[in-house]
Structure 1
Amino acid sequence: MTAAVRRRPKAVADRRWAARVGAAAGLLVALVVLLLAPATPASAHAVLVSSSPAASAVVPSGPAEVALTFSEGVRKVPGKIRVIAPDGSRADRGEPSFSGAVVTIPVDPSGARGTYLVSYRVISADSHPVSGAFTYSVGAPSPPPVDTGSDNRADPVVGTAVKVAKYLGYAGLLLLVGPALVLAALWPRRLPRRGPARLAWAGLGLLVLATVADLWLQVPYTAGGGLFDVTGSGLGDVLGSAFGTAHLVRLGLLAAAAFLLRPLFAGPVGRTDGIILAVLGGAALFTWPLAGHPAASPAPAVSVVVDAVHLGSMAVWLGGLVMLAVFLLPRADERELGAILPIWSRWAALAVAALLLAGTVQGLIEVATPKALVDTTYGRLLLAKILLFALVVGVAAYSRSLVRRRTAAQRPGRMRRVIWVELAITAVVLGVSATLVQTTPARTAATDVAGTPTGYFSTTLSSPVASVQVELDPAERGNNSVHLYAYTKDNRPQPVQEWKATAALPSAGIEPIEIPLLPLTDNHTTGEINLPAAGEWQLRITVRTTEIDQATVTATVPIK
């Protein structure tokens, strides 16, 4: 009996030693990735500031190069910057060079007279692609060429998959943090740990899956293409970027944490292991803002810190709620709940306070102006998130009042129902957040490079021959850019033989104005139009896909 008792502490010590060695190995991998990664300057969503030759310019002789100047530094998407000659052939020669915010494209200066098409797709520092096109003419304008060899638009399925992966990552984080925190500090000794441990392992697996999916999807998201249009070189470019570095570091930190989570799920751990786990978890939280908008904000250091605090507070609060609803309230007795709930209530209050503070600071940085809060997609999504958060805080305040009145421990069923309401609302909040991180920040979307307020209109219209996506920018009085895309029912590009579009304002007596259209690819065309008055403009778009298949759709666009 004595020998068995002596062997048990030694076995426990051996397991803890092995866990720490494994954690150190995982942390070492993360540090190696971080040290070997190239440094990338911080910047925001890039905007094309100017070009040489200028858009729509007519120059007397062919230039030897085309220069694109963006508002911030950009990175290359291989094969996505092209200059098309009037006859449809490639006029660019060799690879474009990147120097901060300036991209230089070598061009054959002895090309034919006529109109040239310049199309581009680059990556901003916050990992989002930026694409566009314009024309210039040599000698005199001619019918613009069509770039049939490049589609600078990401597959809609890929865009949706990216948002789903973000959502799953958030869900995995809270399912991992909640059980780990409660098992380390609040779990009654008499209750088995198997259920919470399984939930935490599921959260860890979901988090790893979402991180790997992020890396995979980033290739077609930035380069264009479908879910499986992933090449070795494209994946290498993603892994070598700041985005890829942050995700690889996250995987290394999760691997390190997994070695210490195993003994935690088996029983109480020592203070040293708890501190190491907390450090690993805190470091992992920073990989989210370092791979997104916060790292490219006007105040990156502040944005990264507050976003990590925001994410960590969310994981603590919601993860703890899941543990209360699923395990503690149904299994713990009144005496245990009487001790646990007041502590949890204080933790939840601190987490909510941190959420409010961090969210306010981040909102001020990303939105920049009150007008952008209502005039941009990012601002409106943020308003929706604030309203939902206010609702869930109200429900949380009610649950806190139950704890203060000491009725929660005596009647756990009511407390459990309230918590499920909190979780249902916050599930919607997480969905809004997953969309928000993929949306252009309001500080960028609300102003162009000259500081002029801009808006944006986008809608998808169905017809028997194609689904037509309509984009109008800035959707205000004056000059506007129109982009039209055609897709099949299964979201594949639909080739179009002929586009026609008109704009009318019946309320002001403005008859239909024809919009001159420039085909960029076989399913994408663009045009420019001046809208002289505010009101509900009627866009009428005709799509002809074959000699006999044709359809007309109409969109109402509010112009301010």
Structure 2
Amino acid sequence: MSRTTAPRVRTLLLLLLAVTGALLAGAAPVSAHAALTGSDPQQGAVVAEAPAQVSLTFSEQVAMSDGSVRVLDPKGERVDTGKTSGQGGNTYAVKLHSGLPDGTFTVTYQVVSADSHPVSGAFTFSIGAPSKTTVAVSDQEAGGGIVGGLYGFARYVSYTGFILLVGGSAFVLACWQGGSGVRAVQRLVVSGWLALTGATLAMLLLRGSYTGSGKVGDVFDLDLLSQVLQTKTGAALVSRLLLLAAAALFVAVLFGAYEKREDDEGKSDLTFGLAIGGFVVAAGLAATWAMAEHASTGLQANIAMPVDVLHLLAVAVWLGGLSTLLVVLHRGPSVEAATVNRFSRVAFASVIVLVVTGVYQSWRQVGSWSALTGTWYGQLLMIKVALVVVLVGIAYFSRRWTGRLTQAPVKEPVKVPVGASASKKESGGSGASKESKGSGGPKGAKGAKARPAKKGAASGGGDGKRAAQLARQRAAVAATREKRLRDADPLRSGLRRSVLAEAGVAVVLLAVTTVLTSTEPGRTEEEAKAATAAASEQTGGALSLDIPFDTGGQDGKGIARIELDPARVGGNDMHVYVERANGKAFDIPEVKVAFTLKAKDIGPLPVVPDRIATGHWTASGVQIPMAGSWQIAVTVRTSDIDQVTVDKNAQIG
């Protein structure tokens, strides 16, 4: 790499890392993959008698342990038995103690969805009549905080390690068998193995705190680790570590016995054996993701898991091979045009597999145009598709450079002085070092090698050391000259720039994919909304209205949710929930509501609800004198001076 090119490459890599970090930061806290669609008692309900238990219904099955659901009385004391039980389907319950007093009770839950992501939330109900409560619900979402950020970063590193390990190995076996002796390629593949192993161990330690308390101090809790090992995700991570032990043996053979094998027949048999064994190990590693995440739940899981394995393998072969080619072009010896051409064909086949499996997975996880355009998952998916299109477009130009390399006349090898072979190990055993054998070098090179050798042998003096030093200097100069000539080749320079651009887009693509795997699928999100709406209709047509607001001050944005039950003429129960943009309760000093029926010139009818919990106000007996399209105005005050009034129209009666 020339001096002018190196700063550009470093700047581009820093920019890509910054974009990657921004994308990963946007991924935390993780979106929930299972939604609460119903409860008994219902959210905000006022019941006459104390219930024997509280039941929760989710949009999909969840993993729940004792203590996952807690019920707190108005003073913040637990009133549940702590034992949760399944009620059939996706409904779970926890029993309550007898003799509960009247007042408002808070239900908190923290569970793990079927695709391994933590889900938490809270709601209230009242016995007899609403009352004030001292319960403070944590503003941190499950899977958020420092532990959530570390877990998300470890997920990204694990994907990166898998791609480098599998893609680099596939590049050597399928495209450039001579690359097994190149130090830069060896470092890349081993770095992938180390990254995947380290990230897997980190995820195993972080998992208990990630799905539980979110505290850094719980990372090394052995009891939590024991619980994690009994879960589906824990089993997948342990299986990945066992497969990585087999992968270590594969890497040792690939860069050891395989590189030293010289007879063609024996090397061919070893290539076949490594290809079969490597595919089995790579498919097993990919399956540890497929069997524990999105592909393992929902529609057609039996088909989705093997499809997901193929998808991951195609991504690894393409992007990992691309990374290997980039390293070789910048750090390794001269690579033949035939090698680049072979990788071009392998990459093209990988893209075809990637597109076919990606289309199926997209249909499975999205399912409708509304989910594609109206959910965060769908929007991320469109960004991913756009990046893939850009990557394929850049790859087209890389293929053009490859074609020019194939058609270009072969240049005479650069003659290197005797002694350059001393650098063979450093250069990977090819390129300048191979070409130097028998070249003779500059005049007097042989003498410089032979005479001091005898002197040194006889006297052990410094002439032998001096000769060896001169030989190393000549080898370094020759290698530098050869690299300069190689870098000056416009065809190879164009290919390097094209491959570097591909790798840059691939880094961002991998970050988007990591965020995508930790985001609630569009189909699941829409099904949860539909289930919630159906449950609302079954309870008598209660009105629920979300009104965004912005008081203009610091931390002044949020959503006010108005719930009116049964939303008919006469007396109604009203609940006001004020939430932040992330769905958590917003603790503000004051909320007022007013109803106006402009068509009949009625109102505004003011209502001042009572605060019963953080972000929750309620009022009973709200009178609606007649049916019509009512304007519901909400006044929200977030500080002593920041206040705003927002409104929406709704049909009542």
TM-score (norm 2): 0.65
SS in 2 for 1:174: helix
**8 Å contact kept, 1:470–1:482:** no
**8 Å contact kept, 2:164–2:189:** yes
Letter in 2 for 1:450: A
Residue 274, structure 1, aligned to residue 275, structure 2:
yes
Q: Residues 327 and 242 from structure 1, CA distance in 2 versus in 1: closer, same or farther, beyond 3 angstroms?
A: same
Deviations 1:201-238 (A, max 9, x none): 11111111211222233223221323333333322222
Gaps of 5+ in 1: 1-43, 488-492, 544-549
Q: Structure 1 stretch 249-258 or stretch 153-162: which is displaced more? A: 153-162
Residue 76, structure 1, aligned to residue 156, structure 2:
no
Q: Residues 360 and 471 from structure 1, CA distance in 2 versus in 1: closer, same or farther, beyond 3 angstroms?
A: farther
CA drift of 1:184 comes to: 2.5
**8 Å contact kept, 1:47–1:70:** yes
Deviations 1:342-375 (A, max 9, x none): 2111101001111111111100000111111111
**Aligned partner of 2:590 among 494, 500, 508:** 500
SS in 2 for 1:45: coil
CA drift of 1:129 comes to: 2.0
**Aligned partner of 1:433 among 505, 513, 522:** 513
Deviations 1:283-321 (A, max 9, x none): 111111222111112111222222222211111111111
**8 Å contact kept, 2:398–2:498:** yes
Q: Residues 186 and 459 from structure 1, CA distance in 2 versus in 1: closer, same or farther, beyond 3 angstroms?
A: farther
Kindly report the root-mean-square deviation, in angstroms, between the aligned alpha carbons of the 2 structures.
4.3
Matching residue of 2:310: 309
Identity score, percent:
32
Residue 124, structure 1, aligned to residue 214, structure 2:
no
Matching residue of 2:226: 236
Residue 45, structure 1, aligned to residue 33, structure 2:
yes
Letter in 2 for 1:319: G
Matching residue of 1:3: none
Matching residue of 2:288: 287
CA drift of 1:381 comes to: 0.8
**8 Å contact kept, 1:63–1:108:** no
SS in 2 for 1:237: helix
What CA distance in whole angstroms lies between the structure 1 residues aligned with 2:180 and 2:302?
43
Q: Residues 355 and 149 from structure 1, CA distance in 2 versus in 1: closer, same or farther, beyond 3 angstroms?
A: closer
Deviations 1:395-445 (A, max 9, x none): 111212332344687711101100100111111111111111111110111
Q: Residues 485 and 451 from structure 1, CA distance in 2 versus in 1: closer, same or farther, beyond 3 angstroms?
A: closer
SS in 2 for 1:228: helix
CA drift of 1:461 comes to: 10
Q: Residues 481 and 202 from structure 1, CA distance in 2 versus in 1: closer, same or farther, beyond 3 angstroms?
A: farther
What CA distance in whole angstroms lies between the structure 2 residues aligned with 1:391 and 1:511?
56
**8 Å contact kept, 1:164–1:434:** no
**8 Å contact kept, 1:388–1:429:** yes
What CA distance in whole angstroms lies between the structure 2 residues aligned with 1:162 and 1:503?
42
Q: Residues 541 and 391 from structure 1, CA distance in 2 versus in 1: closer, same or farther, beyond 3 angstroms?
A: farther
Q: What are the within-5 Å matches in structure 2 for residues 6-405 of structure 1?
A: 45-99=33-87, 101-139=90-128, 141-148=129-136, 153-154=141-142, 155-187=144-176, 189=178, 192-230=181-219, 231-266=221-256, 267-268=258-259, 270=270, 271-328=272-329, 331-333=332-334, 337-405=336-404
Matching residue of 2:452: none
Q: Residues 401 and 461 from structure 1, CA distance in 2 versus in 1: closer, same or farther, beyond 3 angstroms?
A: farther
What CA distance in whole angstroms lies between the structure 2 residues aligned with 1:324 and 1:459?
52
Q: Residues 88 and 370 from structure 1, CA distance in 2 versus in 1: closer, same or farther, beyond 3 angstroms?
A: same
CA drift of 1:187 comes to: 2.8
What CA distance in whole angstroms lies between the structure 1 residues aligned with 2:526 and 2:174?
46
What CA distance in whole angstroms lies between the structure 2 residues aligned with 1:558 and 1:426?
45
CA drift of 1:120 comes to: 1.4
**8 Å contact kept, 2:184–2:332:** no
**8 Å contact kept, 1:306–1:358:** yes
CA drift of 1:242 comes to: 0.7
What CA distance in whole angstroms lies between the structure 1 residues aligned with 2:229 and 2:169?
30
**8 Å contact kept, 1:286–1:304:** yes
What CA distance in whole angstroms lies between the structure 1 residues aligned with 2:193 and 2:641?
49
Q: Residues 356 and 551 from structure 1, CA distance in 2 versus in 1: closer, same or farther, beyond 3 angstroms?
A: farther
**8 Å contact kept, 1:260–1:273:** yes
What CA distance in whole angstroms lies between the structure 1 residues aligned with 2:182 and 2:607?
69
Letter in 2 for 1:362: Q
What CA distance in whole angstroms lies between the structure 2 residues aligned with 1:337 and 1:474?
68
What CA distance in whole angstroms lies between the structure 2 residues aligned with 1:114 and 1:148?
16
**8 Å contact kept, 2:578–2:585:** no
CA drift of 1:57 comes to: 2.7
What CA distance in whole angstroms lies between the structure 2 residues aligned with 1:450 and 1:326?
51
Q: What are the within-5 Å matches in structure 2 for residues 474-553 of structure 1?
A: 482=577, 484=579, 499-501=589-591, 525-526=615-616, 540=636, 542=638, 552=642
Gaps of 5+ in 2: 1-31, 260-266, 410-490, 535-543, 568-573, 620-627
What CA distance in whole angstroms lies between the structure 2 residues aligned with 1:296 and 1:557?
40
